[in-house]
Structure formats: structure tokens, C-alpha cells
């Protein structure tokens, strides 16, 4: 669905004379977002998200701050509906997938297909590169960067979750 690639912009539909048209602002944001390397943005925030999780670490999604969210999960999933056919498809994204044995992670291409409000998990298909087989996974929001999402804000969100978890871990160790 084409809407699934369009970032949310706070620009009037009729901006008036001398102002940049909304469609051009959307296209500029789309291009800017697609050029960003989320791994590098996280490194710039002082975080190597691909590093193995510490032994016994609390789940990161417990510390996810939804104040960084530009759309609620239900709105993200509305973007999966094809405008022409009305058929539910997927929302393009990148996801941080952690290998079970090594606990190391890597960013993968993803297609988000559903959201379960009771578990707060997204269902998605992920693969390392085009031509690879899709793998079905369920992940919390903090591990999913939607194609239409601002990667700079997302990097700050993930970094904030890691800092909050580290602070909670330090407090638990003191007691």
C-alpha cells in the first residue's frame, strides 16, 4: 500500500502561496527517512542494539516510552489496507531480530501484518535480504521501525528505553 510509505507531516493540505506543498513535504520526508541507517543512528545515540542482550536483562518493551509514538498501533495497521482493493496487506518496516542461541541481533527487512492488542505484539514476516525466505515472528513495538516513521525519533525512543532499563537494573542491584 502506497500510504504505508508516507510519513506523517503536520502541513496544511492547502498551504497557501509561497509555502511548500504538502505532497512535496511528504516526498522529502520519505526520501530522508529511506536514506537513514538505523544501526548508525542508534550508534550515534551511544547504543549498539545489535550487541547481545545482558544475561537476565528485563524485556526492553517494559521500558518503551509511547510518547515518542507518531501513530497508535491501530493506525499503523490501517496503513496495511490497499486503497484500491480494500484488501489487508502489510506495512513495510525494519525490525531488530535477535537470534536465540547467540542473543545477537540484526536489522532485517519486515512486513508487519497484524497487531494483537492483548499481548501488545506485532506479527510480521522478516528476512535478511531480498530472495531470502520470509520468517514469521512476533515482536514488541520498540523493535520495529516502520518505513513511514521518523528514524531519528525512533532511535531516541530505543535509546531512552535502554537507558530506562539500565537505570531500573541498577536500582534492583542496589536493593
Residue 83 or 123, more confident: 123
Q: Which three cell numbers stand for residue 114?
A: 497484524
As to burial, measured by CB atoms within 10 angstroms (0-12 exposed, 13-18 middle, 19+ buried), residue 172 is exposed
CA–CA separation, 50 and 65 (whole Å): 20
* Average pLDDT for the chain: 88
Residues 6+ away with beta carbon under 8 Å from 72: none
Closest CA to 23 of 4, 35, 6, 2: 6
Q: Model confidence over 105-151: pLDDT tens digits?
A: 889 999 999 999 999 999 999 998 888 999 999 999 999 999 999 99
Decide if 93 contacts 147 (C-beta within 8 A). Answer: yes
Closest CA to 127 of 106, 109, 145: 109
Given a cut of 80, whether residue 96 has pLDDT beyond it is yes
Among positive and negative, which fits the CA dihedral 4, 118, 169, 53?
negative
Instruction: Kindly write down the DSSP assignment for every residue of 24-69, as one continuous string.
Output: HHHHHHHHHHHT--HHHHHHHTT--TTSPPPTTPPPGGGG--GGG-
To which residue does cell 543512528 refer?
Answer: 41
Which of the residue ranges 97-101, 120-124, 151-155 would you say has the lowest mean pLDDT? 97-101
**8-23: average pLDDT:** 76
Is the pTM value of this prediction over 0.75? yes
Amino acid at each position: 500500500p502506497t500510504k504505508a510509505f508516507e510519513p506523517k507531516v503536520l502541513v496544511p493540505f492547502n498551504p497557501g502561496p509561497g509555502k511548500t506543498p504538502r505532497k512535496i513535504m511528504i516526498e522529502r520526508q520519505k526520501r530522508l527517512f529511506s536514506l537513514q541507517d538505523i544501526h548508525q543512528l542508534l550508534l550515534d545515540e551511544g547504543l549498539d542494539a545489535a550487541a547481545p542482550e545482558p544475561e537476565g536483562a528485563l524485556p526492553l518493551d517494559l521500558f518503551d516510552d509511547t510518547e515518542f509514538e507518531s501513530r497508535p498501533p491501530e493506525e499503523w495497521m490501517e496503513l496495511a489496507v490497499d486503497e484500491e482493493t480494500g484488501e489487508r496487506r502489510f506495512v513495510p518496516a525494519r525490525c531488530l531480530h535477535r537470534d536465540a542461541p547467540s542473543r545477537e541481533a540484526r536489522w532485517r527487512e519486515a512486513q508487519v501484518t497484524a497487531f494483537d492488542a492483548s499481548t501488545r505484539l506485532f506479527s510480521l514476516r522478516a528476512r535478511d535480504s531480498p530472495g531470502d525466505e520470509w520468517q514469521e515472528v512476533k515482536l514488541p513495538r520498540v523493535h520495529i521501525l516502520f518505513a513511514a516513521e521518523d528514524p531519528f525519533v525512533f532511535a531516541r525512543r530505543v535509546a531512552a528505553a535502554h537507558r530506562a532499563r539500565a537505570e531500573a537494573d541498577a536500582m534492583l542491584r542496589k536493593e
